[in-house]
Amino acid sequence: MVLAMPRLIANTLPRLLRTSQPRWQASRSRYAELVNRWQTTDLTTASAEYLLNGVCDITAEAAQYYLSIQGGILINLYEYPSLFYPFDSI
């Protein structure tokens, strides 16, 4: 199993790096849509069950958004800082 890890990483990592920005953008738009929906919800008239389900939905979507950042954008930043910063600021 341990010997298979380098092959698994070598096969998976390039694909993850290539698709990191589209995955992040899709995750961000889903998260923003959910936040916008809750900002327009009248919380004073919503039932406790509806609010609790909303908390679960927001938490799950926030976790997915965090994972999309952690699993792609940050890896690119660590590997290729010159793509994100001008050369004179490094």
What does the pLDDT look like over 28-64, one tens digit per residue?
A: 999 999 999 999 999 999 999 999 999 999 999 999 9
pLDDT at position 68 is 83
d(CA 70, CA 85): 19
Tokens 């995750």 belong to residue? 27
pLDDT at position 37 is 95
Indicate whether this model's pTM tops 0.85: no
Q: Encode 50-71 in three state secondary structure.
A: HHHHHHHHHHHHHHHHHHHHHH
